[in-house]
Structure 1
């Protein structure tokens, strides 16, 4: 496997080695490696027949479905890239992502077909919309119309084949271009750390627009493991699948784990096949941690990562979760995984800081993205000349090499595994006629880890109606981005240069808490 340099070769390898073994299960259906490979080749042929050329994009707007993985693997064969749209976005945000990707084909699930019809006139690059699943499915006929493509393009290691969008500090998402080299490095590093091999059964419960969905799936595919996919991350369905399909590996965000713990009869199930339950992407409240450790003893590990690095960069392992003598490490993000370097630097100068001192987390590995789509300035700002990614997260490293993520340099909020930049919300709120000034911060929440709070200053002669402000946001933003509360103040704290001191705004809400961001 170490000699394979692209995912077309990976798929061909497992088709040859395990043709009749199950590759994917979903909703009562299953596909062997031979069947999956044949479908991917038909998909590639259909993309070529549609006139797609290397370097161009398609887009998927759907809940989890194997077709999204088929499209991604077919893109690897054609030289195109799959831009997977966050289905939780508000319609204007969906339009932005699809147009930014310049997607020529748009694949939509039945739940989103009506919305896309209403938005169709705003999508000038989309030549065809293809429905996936449901009574109006067009995808299967689209595949069946083609003979399998037998001549994959000569993929280069740094070719992008999947494009996942991250929220931007300017209020607009950025498309992280994820490559064969990066994804294969991530798969190799994570599989080694998690002891995942061909006999593994990996549950994919998280959305495929997230690295916890697509990147995790590609780790399993790289190892020839079976994928058991859920359409939606339903807590009862998660437990049913863990037990019924004897899942060995899964990844869940803390918000979902909190709901899993509350499923009636959860403690009476058989999870003995489970070897690794990874969690991350948002803060883990300690009550949820304790309940999860009781429900899933001896298998839990925390992961910290980001889209720009194809996913995981550090892990707090099973042993650290089970050893009471190092209980303080439960608020750390663990140690760098194989193939990843992590250091803490002073954000302004880039100089390394002493052990235990705070700074910005910098990461270097082959897992890195090739850059942000059509954003060379943002790409240049993200990377140093010698390949270090400036993560934007603040933290420190202890003398034993454990990473502690304590704040965010860029003020990002992570709520239930979703990345939210305050700028996205602030650019909406500043347009409200009753608001003169605004800052959005993350405040603690027992269910979601943290949620957005708006701190506003009323415009002269105006009064703030909190319910009106919240409703204003709901009409313009995805629900998970909307502030859950609004505070009205006379003025926002600023430094001498006029920058809002968000750390001062956050301080009262986080007082006395060991802030854990993963």
Structure 2
């Protein structure tokens, strides 16, 4: 039977069988869901970290123990901000849910941020407690935050405690230099041991939480594009997005599924899709602290996970490296690509190695984060970022006048409404106001269109749009053309100032191993694939292209490179 749908929601007719757009959304706070899952799943494995496993029962006990200690030993109260500065480890999972359990707010910190960026995030949020590891990759910055007066207390976990027996011994023998002796730190008087807090066995007192109003996570966005803003995500926002993903997943996040968590939990995509959704559904999460090909392939062979949330650069590596064989990747049933646009060449190359459904999704921090996604159980339209999730309303508005909706099929700025949309930016009413249209739709700054079947397609970011001789030039269209050359491994296109045209595109290119190509040769290849306005003014070859912590190719780093190195050398 065909579904009847009103014109504003054309995507409903394209929904996979068994999924309804107009459906009830669960907004039970995530920590309540997690603890219920722990009680239900008992001794089943919740976390696998490099072979060290944590049962659901043990996870629940540790969450409650840390929650009680944060209350009684550190005086953390409802509404207080607690910063987390660490890669993926069991310590992160325990800390995250413990903070939410007592009504405090998680402030995620990217360990790769500069000290000035971290100082702004911690001071702006008002976090006085920070939880980190004693690794040299994280502790020195935490130590300096104490020295600057931004943080009063450091809770420090001993990294080797997360490792299985033999690996713990080997790490202590051969990588002892990676560990900081915190007793010698100037911040020592402010340091409290994570293990010490857990072993106190404190029972947390109950806290009354209003899911719609109380902030669960204050997620900072824009750290590399200006002053970071704290998006306030309520308990209901996060739970709603989990419920939407659960309904869209048709059971993929339930046991016996195993979900790979190689993307960092401090990033909103991984926090929701790699941690919250599977753990609250009773599924196992297999973790790595960061992506390294050999470690990832070892994890695949040892645990045989079937769900892989990922980013295009990671998919590209799996598709093009011979060491990542089809046999090793065979357990993957579903790969969910997000964080950046998925090049068709990467999709095709991955499809030659894996029979998994490759579903491209889309989201943003301010939407907790998922907005649209391709179907996870059946094939979807290639090139699309899928359909709006249940209870999510999307529209496209004029690039010059966001109050004016554009007709179906025409390009505009994507705007949305839904229960996953943030409360606003912390202590920034002006930014909050500008983030929404007059009728309450969240502006995304992403350009795209919706087709007659309700599938959403993205063209580019508004801030990445190149205005060339008065015309809109989209970097992604140029990148897609460059990727068609068989010698190209990665490419990223930026706009630079041009005296004649106002702006002009510049392409950075990394070639595949053993390949050679000249600027002239690539331009000859592109001349029938791009217009004169789209043709890059310059093509710059690099051995590596800069990436963000989550693995996205970074245009911001390339803009800085161009100003400092290329333009300065003219």
TM-score, normalised on structure 2?
0.70
Q: 1:172 aligned to 2:247?
A: no
Q: 1:288 aligned to 2:365?
A: no
Residue aligning to 1:250: 308
Q: 1:53 to 1:385 in 2, by over 3 A?
A: farther
Residue aligning to 1:48: 71
Assess if the C-alpha contact under 8 Å between 2:31 and 2:97 holds in 1. yes
Residue aligning to 2:211: 157
Q: Residue 145 of structure 1: which of 184, 200, 203 is its match?
A: 200
Q: 1:66 to 1:396 in 2, by over 3 A?
A: same
The 5 A counterparts of 1:106-505 are 106-109=130-133, 110=135, 111-122=137-148, 124-134=149-159, 138-149=193-204, 151-158=205-212, 159-167=214-222, 171-195=226-250, 196-216=253-273, 217-317=275-375, 329-347=381-399, 348-384=401-437, 386-411=439-464, 444=479, 450=492, 455=497, 481-483=556-558, 484-486=561-563, 488=567
CA distance in 1, matches of 2:438, 2:96: 30
CA distance in 1, matches of 2:280, 2:39: 14
Assess if the C-alpha contact under 8 Å between 2:29 and 2:235 holds in 1. yes
Q: 1:10 aligned to 2:33?
A: yes
1:77-136: CA deviation from partner (whole Å, max 9, x where unpaired): 1111111111222222122112222111112231221233345332x2411122223355
Residue aligning to 2:53: 30
CA distance in 2, matches of 1:51, 1:242: 42
For this pair of structures, how many residues does the alignment match? Answer: 435
SS in 1 for 2:236: helix
SS in 2 for 1:251: strand
Assess if the C-alpha contact under 8 Å between 2:221 and 2:230 holds in 1. yes
Q: 1:184 to 1:412 in 2, by over 3 A?
A: farther
Q: 1:207 to 1:275 in 2, by over 3 A?
A: same
Unaligned 5+ segments in structure 2 are 1-23, 160-178, 183-192, 467-474, 483-487, 500-547
Assess if the C-alpha contact under 8 Å between 1:283 and 1:449 holds in 2. no
1:275 is displaced (CA, Å) by: 2.3
Q: 1:319 to 1:330 in 2, by over 3 A?
A: farther
SS in 2 for 1:266: coil
1:412 is displaced (CA, Å) by: 8.3
Assess if the C-alpha contact under 8 Å between 2:402 and 2:437 holds in 1. no
CA distance in 2, matches of 1:62, 1:451: 31
Q: Residue 101 of structure 1: which of 109, 122, 125 is its match?
A: 125
Q: 1:168 to 1:351 in 2, by over 3 A?
A: farther
1:440-494: CA deviation from partner (whole Å, max 9, x where unpaired): x99848666636565499xxxxxxxxxxxxxxxxxxx9995422434649xxxxx
Q: 1:456 to 1:64 in 2, by over 3 A?
A: farther
Q: 1:95 to 1:125 in 2, by over 3 A?
A: closer
Assess if the C-alpha contact under 8 Å between 1:356 and 1:398 holds in 2. yes
Residue aligning to 1:325: none
Q: 1:188 to 1:349 in 2, by over 3 A?
A: closer
1:346 is displaced (CA, Å) by: 2.0
Residue aligning to 2:485: none
CA distance in 1, matches of 2:89, 2:82: 16
Assess if the C-alpha contact under 8 Å between 1:392 and 1:409 holds in 2. yes
1:340 is displaced (CA, Å) by: 1.4
Residue aligning to 1:416: none
Assess if the C-alpha contact under 8 Å between 2:326 and 2:354 holds in 1. no
1:26-83: CA deviation from partner (whole Å, max 9, x where unpaired): 1221111111111111111121121111111111122211222222211211111111
CA distance in 1, matches of 2:314, 2:96: 26
CA distance in 2, matches of 1:337, 1:307: 16
- More deviation in 381-390 or 252-261? 381-390
CA distance in 1, matches of 2:130, 2:327: 40
SS in 2 for 1:103: coil
1:204 is displaced (CA, Å) by: 0.9
Q: 1:387 to 1:21 in 2, by over 3 A?
A: farther
Assess if the C-alpha contact under 8 Å between 1:157 and 1:179 holds in 2. yes
1:238 is displaced (CA, Å) by: 2.5
Larger radius of gyration: 2
CA distance in 2, matches of 1:117, 1:375: 28
Assess if the C-alpha contact under 8 Å between 2:249 and 2:376 holds in 1. no
